[in-house]
Amino acid sequence: AQKITQTQPGMFVQEKEAVTLDCTYDTSDPSYGLFWYKQPSSGEMIFLIYQGSYDQQNATEGRYSLNFQKARKSANLVISASQLGDSAMYFCAMRERGQNDYKLSFGAGTTVTVRA
Amino acid sequence: NAGVMQNPRHLVRRRGQEARLRCSPMKGHSHVYWYRQLPEEGLKFMVYLQKENIIDESGMPKERFSAEFPKEGPSILRIQQVVRGDSAAYFCASSPNQGVPGQPQHFGDGTRLSIL
């Protein structure tokens, strides 16, 4: 079964607008962490933001914020005030506490293109 | 403070040859993870190593693939007798320890392996 689902293969957003990237996950482990990574066209993987399953508040990191809805098992990434440099592939990933709490499971990614 | 260093950045091999991918973790990091990214897909876990120990190689094909992280020197992912299906981007990540909530794995820029 797919642990991480990202249903939007590609999105366009106008510069300075906000964009929301969807991520749903599947786990029976009560303790887990959710991560978002950015992969620009140059190929490197850049860590953006983290949300823990027991965190009471939604994570924020600069222009990035997480809309964490635990009951719905979703952890959507919101990028505010989009910039041209935000054009990239974005991956949602999960790490479950269980026995393999080092193993990241990734979604298929969402490509974001920011238009001037 | 250098990040995770992977080399080479690009590697071309003919079918049947051997491929060696190197990864030097961030300074102070003793945990190394290898992931593989096929075109248009997310990253898939391959193997987790600590110094001189393979902790989990459940994501690595049983044949032709091996990994090591010696006491001195970089971690090596070795693919023997490469086939076309091995063409992918191989990412190495590192962390200072394991099991700490919220601690991200820091990724290198990846090695793009192309098999002719």
Question: Do the Cβ atoms of B67 and B57 come closer than 8 Å?
Answer: yes
Widest pairwise Cα distance in chain A: 46
Q: Which residues of B touch A32 (CB under 8 A)?
A: none
Q: Which residues of B touch A102 (CB under 8 A)?
A: 31, 33, 48, 55-56, 95, 98-99
The reply to whether residue A102 touches residue B106, judged by beta carbons under 8 angstroms, is: no
Q: Given this model, what pLDDT does residue B40 score? A: 79
Rounded to whole angstroms, the Cα distance separating B16 from A72 reads 48
The reply to whether residue A108 touches residue B42, judged by beta carbons under 8 angstroms, is: yes
Q: Characterize the bridge pairing of strands A60-61 and B19-24.
A: unpaired
Q: Given this model, what pLDDT does residue A1 score? A: 67
- Find the chain A residues whose C-beta atoms sit closer than 8 A to any C-beta of B: 4, 31, 33, 35, 37, 42-47, 50, 52, 91, 93, 100-109
Tokens (6 digits) for A11:
């999105």
Sign of the Cα torsion B49, A103, A50, A106 reads positive
Q: Which residues of chain B have pLDDT under 50?
A: none
pLDDT at A99 over 80: no
Q: Given this model, what pLDDT does residue A102 score? A: 86
* Closest among B44, B54, B104, B101 to B75, alpha carbons compared: B54
pLDDT at A80 over 60: yes
Question: Do the Cβ atoms of B110 and B91 come closer than 8 Å?
Answer: yes
Q: How many CB atoms lie within 10 A of CB A98?
A: 13
Q: Given this model, what pLDDT does residue B102 score? A: 77
Q: Given this model, what pLDDT does residue A100 score? A: 74
Q: What is the mean pLDDT of residues A18-30?
A: 95
Q: Given this model, what pLDDT does residue A97 score? A: 83
Question: Do the Cβ atoms of A23 and A109 come closer than 8 Å?
Answer: no
Split at pLDDT 50, 70, 90, the class of A49 is: very high
Q: Given this model, what pLDDT does residue A91 score? A: 96
Q: Given this model, what pLDDT does residue A11 score? A: 94
Q: What is the mean pLDDT of residues A11-40?
A: 95
Instruction: Determine if the peptide bond prior to B8 is cis (ω within 30°).
Output: yes
Widest pairwise Cα distance in chain B: 42
